[in-house]
Amino acid sequence: MNMPTTERPLPYALYRAEQVRALDRCAIERHHIPGEVLMERAGAAAFGLLRARWPQARRIAVLVGPGNNGGDGYVVARLCLGAGLRVDLLQLGEHRHLEGEAALAARAFAQAGGAGRAWRALPADADLIVDGLLGTGLQRPVAGVWAQAIGAVNGARAPVLALDIPSGLSADTGAVLGAAVEADTTLSFIGLKQGMFTGRGPDCCGEIRFDGLQVPPGIYAGEILSARRLDWRKEAALLPRRRRSAHKGDCGHVLVVGGAPGMSGAARLAAEAALRGGAGLVTLATHPQHAPWLNLTRPELMVQGVDDPAALVPLAQRATVIAVGPGLGQGPWGRAFLQQVLRLERPMVLDADALNLIAADGVGDGSMAAAAADSPPWPSQWVLTPHPGEAARLLGCSVADVEANRFVAARRLQERYGGTVVLKGAGSLILGPGHRPVGVCSQGNPGMASAGMGDVLTGIIAALLGQGLSPEQAAGAGVCLHAAAGDRAARQGQRGLIAGDLIDALRSTLALAEE
Ligand SMILES: NC(=O)C1=CN([C@@H]2O[C@H](COP(=O)(O)OP(=O)(O)OC[C@H]3O[C@@H](n4cnc5c(N)ncnc54)[C@H](O)[C@@H]3O)[C@@H](O)[C@H]2O)[C@@H](O)CC1
Ligand SMILES: [K+]
């Protein structure tokens, strides 16, 4: 029996708009499922979700555009009429000459006694708004009356169900093109779109549901995935099981380098997160000014005050992985230590000021890049973890440019700097070398927008590298565990969540993944 949309688990494969269009075409042309049948199934799935989710709703405003997304809306509107609900069908664009299956759906709606009218305003007492304005056919920024209608939807009190994708959200990038519907629930058809899970996508989509419209599974084989959602349990399961005879030396020794004067907290958070991420040993090399008291409340940490970069060499010899950047500062101390670290042949995580220093130095001709180039095999062992601001500095562009297409920004970073890139922010992206799909993290919550969260991520990724995962695996698993621990910690509330809470939740999250 076909499972209802409300219960169906979300697939992991993510597609771009042109790929979903190709999937539609394949279903229609190769498998001879008429477009109107797909549209009928899409509308029926949305209607089923609508009734299950909002059983009390009596007055439904359905906004329809002139394409097939509108066609889906006409089907929902007809099914609502059939169930005795009051329907306001509000049209944008030219509806006198609809084409193909959208025209059939509009005719069936009229034959069922429905009448549409041009959108002017939303009925104030609508119980639910269905967004069938624009789907994967979005071609340009939303403006004019379209933007007004979307603004009205977002200002309305009624909940919003978006069909396929919220209107105005780019299916490919997760950016808002002009204006976008902020839905409570989005029901996506045939293939999940990659833009729904990163950038503004999660804001606009609300809860995401999926219906494959019963297309044959074979149609997906023809599309090369460009992105996939990461399953945090599967990612965490990459960690090798510990033998009963394991000792601390088997579990990785993380060397954290950071903590310029006045910035010791960040380095301490990264080091502590490495411990909770399962590292056997963690050494923190930091400025001598605060070294004596940095492990007072966490004596498991080994802390070394260093003022000569050469002192890192013996420390690195004992370490299996280096994390550099949190609290490093961009002054002479941080700069000298980063240059030394880049000469050390160890897998490493580069974050925060390590990235800012590399960006400030320029690419190709700066001393940082030159230091890295001294040891050519190692960039492939890097994990870079920029947030959008750091990514913009590394790419020499604006944050808006990065956010306009996070997938492209991640790829440009990887091509320019090598190794594995984690582009942080809602829906963090993970991209390693080669042509594997971009990993997209779909856990996490806005409570994690607080100081120190990035430092914790750095420590976790370093710990996973130290336990034997490859840079790409450690980055994927690290981002997922970090987000899952954030979600676990947020059960007690999102607002006021601090990085230390996430560290506290890490161990039980890891245990959950091992069940
Ligand atoms: N047979 C199929 O191909 C199926 C398609 N489906 C639906 O069809 C949608 C795709 O349909 P279409 O390709 O017709 O595209 P859309 O319905 O998403 O939009 C295309 C229309 O919007 C206009 N438009 C684009 N950008 C605009 C903007 N910024 N402002 C104002 N107007 C704009 C275009 O000129 C065109 O008239 C999917 O998202 C899905 O909802 C589903 O019914 C499943 C089956
Ligand atoms: K839509």
pLDDT given for residue 335 in this prediction:
93
What's the 167 CA to ligand 2 centre distance in angstroms? 4
Ligand 1 atom 3: residue of nearest CA? 24
Structure tokens at 27: 């279903």
Q: Give CA torsion, residues 391, 372, 280, 289, to 10 deg.
A: -80
Ligand 1 atom 28: residue of nearest CA? 142
With DSSP H G I counted as helix, E B as strand and the rest as coil, what are the percentages for the chain, rounded to 5? 45, 15, 40
The contacts of residue 494 (CB under 8 Å, 6+ apart) are: 445, 446, 447
163 CB within 6 A, ligand 1? yes
CA 159 to chain centre: 24
91 CB within 6 A, ligand 1? no
The ligand placed nearest to the CA atom of residue 137 is: 1
**Residues of CATH 3.40.1190.20 domain(s) within the chain?**
232-236+252-514
Ligand 1 atom 42: residue of nearest CA? 39
Q: Is residue 123 within 8 Å of 156, Cβ to Cβ?
A: no
Place of tokens 């799909």: 437
ipTM rounded to 2 decimals: 0.98
Q: What is the DSSP string of 77-123?
A: HHHHHHTT-EEEEEE-S--TT--HHHHHHHHHHHHTT--EEE-S---
68 CB within 6 A, ligand 1? yes
What's the 437 CA to ligand 2 centre distance in angstroms? 26
Which residue of 36, 64, 134 sits with most ligand 1 atoms within 8 Å of its CB, as the best mutation to test the pocket? 134
10-residue block means of pLDDT along the chain (515 residues)?
A: 74 96 94 96 98 98 98 98 98 94 97 97 97 97 98 98 98 98 98 98 97 94 92 88 85 95 94 97 96 88 95 96 96 93 92 94 53 53 96 96 97 93 97 92 94 97 96 96 96 96 96 85
What's the 192 CA to ligand 2 centre distance in angstroms? 13
309 CB within 6 A, ligand 1? no
- CATH 3.40.190.10 fits domain 13-229: no
Rounded CA-CA distance 418/421 in Å is 8
**Residues of CATH 3.40.50.10260 domain(s) within the chain?**
13-229
Report the relative pairing of strands 420-423 and 429-431 from DSSP bridges: antiparallel
What's the 65 CA to ligand 2 centre distance in angstroms? 9
pLDDT given for residue 7 in this prediction:
74
Annotated binding site for AMP: 424-428, 454
Which residue of 16, 95, 136, 172 sits with most ligand 1 atoms within 8 Å of its CB, as the best mutation to test the pocket? 136
The ligand placed nearest to the CA atom of residue 76 is: 1
Annotated binding site for (6S)-NADPHX: 68-72, 135-141, 164, 266, 327, 387, 455
Ligand 1 atom with the shortest distance to the CA of 70: 17
444 CB within 6 A, ligand 1? no
Rounded CA-CA distance 462/444 in Å is 20
Ligand 1 atom with the shortest distance to the CA of 140: 29
The CATH topology of domain 232-236+252-514 is UDP-N-acetylmuramoyl-L-alanine:D-glutamate ligase (3.40.1190)
Rounded CA-CA distance 340/282 in Å is 19
pLDDT given for residue 135 in this prediction:
98
Identify which of 387, 353, 340, 180 has the alpha carbon closest to the alpha carbon of residue 263. 353
270 CB within 6 A, ligand 1? no
Which residue of 41, 96, 139 sits with most ligand 1 atoms within 8 Å of its CB, as the best mutation to test the pocket? 139
Put residue 431 in one of left, alpha, beta given phi > 0 → left and psi -120 to 50 → alpha.
beta
252 CB within 6 A, ligand 1? no
What's the 70 CA to ligand 1 centre distance in angstroms? 7
